[in-house]
Copies of this chain bind each other. A is one copy, B any other.
Amino acid sequence: MPNPLRLGIAGLGTVGVGVIRILENHAALIAARSGQPIEITAVSARSKAKDRGVDLAGYAWEDDPVALAKRGDIDVFVELMGGEDGPAKASVEAAIVAGKHVVTANKAMLAIHGQAMAEAAESSDVALKFEAAVAGGIPVIKSLTEGLAGNKITRVMGVMNGTCNYILTRMENEGVPYEQVFADAKALGYLEADPNLDVGGIDAGHKLALLSSIAFGTKVNFAGVELEGIQRISITDIEQASDMGFRIKLLGVAQLTGRGLEQRMQPCLVPKNSPFGQLENATNMVLLEGDAVGQIVLRGAGAGEGPTASAVMSDVIDIARGFRLSTFGQPAIGLKNIQAAQVSAAAAFYLRLMLKDAPGVLHKITGALADAGVSIDRMRQYSHADTAAPVLMVTHKTTRAELDHALAGIISTGVTLQDPVAIRIEDV
């Protein structure tokens, strides 16, 4: 048997423990598949004493992940600490300089520093891999980088934040308002330390930016992602969407157009009977569209110990098998700098307006829409007990620019009691 591939794991949360468990349970199977045994040499985490349910006695301990990354007795540095900067960044950089391969689940770090890190890894001739950073256990990075490598990729779409999908599903199924489901999710530990990473769409935006880079051969441009969270989605919106045959999902879309790279991560109405409309709870789904293959849809658990550890192991086994591939599927130095483009494709929009209950109000609203060239497909006003009249409408297809013009006009009439909610209707 050849020498083992030796891992150093930094970060022993859920995913780190999952990787240890897989290697404990399936050592022989993985050795047969990899062509060499895979072993853990050393680990690092914040607390050595904490009981994690796995026995760490066989592994060397490092308090400092940077020291772990540099150890002479590891071949692969597995970064599972998370965080855009700090120890994660410092230790990954140290590992690359020390000539170690790197496997990470850290989308925030790569969305910001991915280009520089990929260039560094490629000039050090080491792998920098991140299957676990996007859509958990779904092999989406591999599918895009390798499985569809013969395609010009035309579009990438995805529901990639399980927490948001969990919140939206519970709101819909139980009729519980956002604030309450959010509190439950927090209590259950489903939310990041900064919940805005989840509900603000940032985490999913990080993932979309990484997929875009591979898909279109462009430098990672997270700043160019149009981001909108799910915080303003109400039960009313969900019920209205449902009445019309739609569900609301935090959906990411990326495509390269003549005007630049469009990337958006925002709540959308999707048809109930579409693949995205059928997603429940924390499940993730990614759609990859290529000129030869058409549309491929991948679905699975986007988070959790087993699924994420499975993705980490996929990268580790690739390294053991001797697969060497640039981080984003082609040399980082050659990735293009494409400007971010506003989303140009027209769409129908769902609008929720909260209006003063007074004569002429609807007349003003419809006037503002007409002035902006936005026409109304359907409209509904509910009977209401107080002085605020909720008005729901669906526009005909319009560009976001025209819609924004219309919304500005609506606000300037002075008859709205809160900012209008506008949600794109996505035909997928």
Residues of B within 8 A of A281 (CB): none
Closest Cβ–Cβ distance, residue A197 to chain B (whole Å): 24
In the complex, the answer to whether B30 meets A150 with C-beta atoms within 8 Å is yes
In the complex, the answer to whether B330 meets A150 with C-beta atoms within 8 Å is no
In the complex, the answer to whether B307 meets A300 with C-beta atoms within 8 Å is no
In the complex, the answer to whether B150 meets A22 with C-beta atoms within 8 Å is yes
Q: A26-B152, A298-B297, A298-B298 are in contact. Are A146 and B292 (CB under 8 A)?
A: no
CB nearest neighbor in B for A143: B139
A296, CB-defined interface residue at 8 Å: yes
Q: A32-B217, A291-B306, A299-B296 are in contact. Are A147 and B151 (CB under 8 A)?
A: no
In the complex, the answer to whether A149 meets B317 with C-beta atoms within 8 Å is yes
Tell me the chain A residues, 376-426 only, with Cβ under 8 Å from chain B.
none
Residues of B within 8 A of A309 (CB): 150, 292
A87, CB-defined interface residue at 8 Å: no
User: A299 to B285, alpha carbons, bound, how many Å?
Assistant: 11
A366, CB-defined interface residue at 8 Å: no
In the complex, the answer to whether B325 meets A148 with C-beta atoms within 8 Å is no
In the complex, the answer to whether B293 meets A137 with C-beta atoms within 8 Å is yes
Q: Which of A26, A151, A314, A317 has the largest number of chain B CB atoms within 10 A?
A: A151
Size range of the chain A interface in the assembly: 35 or more
In the complex, the answer to whether B324 meets A322 with C-beta atoms within 8 Å is yes
Q: A306-B293, A310-B292 are in contact. Are A147 and B152 (CB under 8 A)?
A: no
Q: Which of A33, A295, A297, A306 has the largest number of chain B CB atoms within 10 A?
A: A33
Q: A150-B26, A314-B148 are in contact. Are A296 and B292 (CB under 8 A)?
A: no
In the complex, the answer to whether B152 meets A148 with C-beta atoms within 8 Å is no
A142, CB-defined interface residue at 8 Å: yes
A372, CB-defined interface residue at 8 Å: no
User: A211 to B168, alpha carbons, bound, how many Å?
Assistant: 36
A86, CB-defined interface residue at 8 Å: no
Quick one: CB contact mask for A9-37 with B, threshold 8 Å, 1 for yes? 00000000010001001100110111000
A84, CB-defined interface residue at 8 Å: no
A294, CB-defined interface residue at 8 Å: yes
Residues of B within 8 A of A131 (CB): 147
Residues of B within 8 A of A275 (CB): 278, 299
Q: Name the one of B298, B313, B323 contacting A150, with C-beta atoms under 8 angstroms.
A: B313
User: A311 to B146, alpha carbons, bound, how many Å?
Assistant: 10
In the complex, the answer to whether A321 meets B314 with C-beta atoms within 8 Å is no
User: A145 to B347, alpha carbons, bound, how many Å?
Assistant: 40
A329, CB-defined interface residue at 8 Å: yes
Quick one: CB contact mask for A215-239 with B, threshold 8 Å, 1 for yes? 0010000000000000000000000
Q: Name the one of B138, B312, B317, B334 contacting A146, with C-beta atoms under 8 angstroms.
A: B317
With A139-B142, A151-B313 already in contact, 13 other A-B pairs whose C-beta atoms are closer than 8 Å = A25-B152, A26-B151, A138-B296, A142-B142, A142-B146, A149-B313, A151-B310, A291-B306, A292-B306, A292-B307, A292-B310, A294-B304, A321-B324
- List 15 A–B pairs whose Cβ atoms lie within 8 Å, in order of A's numbering: A137-B292, A139-B146, A143-B147, A150-B313, A151-B310, A290-B310, A292-B306, A292-B309, A292-B313, A293-B301, A296-B299, A297-B297, A298-B298, A322-B324, A323-B323
Interface set of A (CB-CB < 8 Å, partner B): 18, 22, 25-26, 29-30, 32-34, 131, 137-139, 142-143, 146-152, 217, 273, 275, 278, 290-301, 304, 306-307, 309-314, 316-318, 321-325, 329-331, 334
